[in-house]
Amino acid sequence: MKTILFAAAVLGGLPAAAMAESSHIMFDHSTMAGAKHEEEAAVSGTGTVNSVDADAKTVNVTHEPIAAIGWPAMTMDFAVAEGVDLATLEAGASVSFTLTRGADGIYIIETEQAR
């Protein structure tokens, strides 16, 4: 009887363990602590450019924590606003940037400046 209960307990925990292991892959950064869907002020961040995709108007940045929106340090792709000159960015550059959130809840880089 104890063996059956132990097996049931182990098997019952598998779905939760599997979900916890895959949660980072499916994580929606727009729902992190501090993120709001109503109109909000721009927030500042700093980081290092890993790559620039001028055709897609995106940059991949490893950024420091952004306390204003509850984000830890991480590496991620950001869409870039029309006013940002991607020709001034290159891999390895240290940058300061300003993020705003669009109506879709996704943050984009509105301004950037080499540090």
Q: What is the pTM of this model?
A: 0.65
What's the Rg (C-alpha) of the chain? 19
Residue with the bigger pLDDT between 78 and 5: it is 78
The domain limits of the chain are: 33-114
pLDDT in tens, 3-59: 444 434 444 444 444 433 433 333 445 444 444 445 578 999 999 999 999 999 999
Q: If you write DSSP's letter for every residue of 36-103 in order, what string do you get?
A: -SS----EEEEEEEEEEETTTTEEEEEE--BGGGTBPSEEEEEEE-TTS-GGG--TT-EEEEEEEE-T
CATH code of the domain occupying 33-114: 2.40.50.320
Amino acid at 69: I
pLDDT at 74 over 50: yes
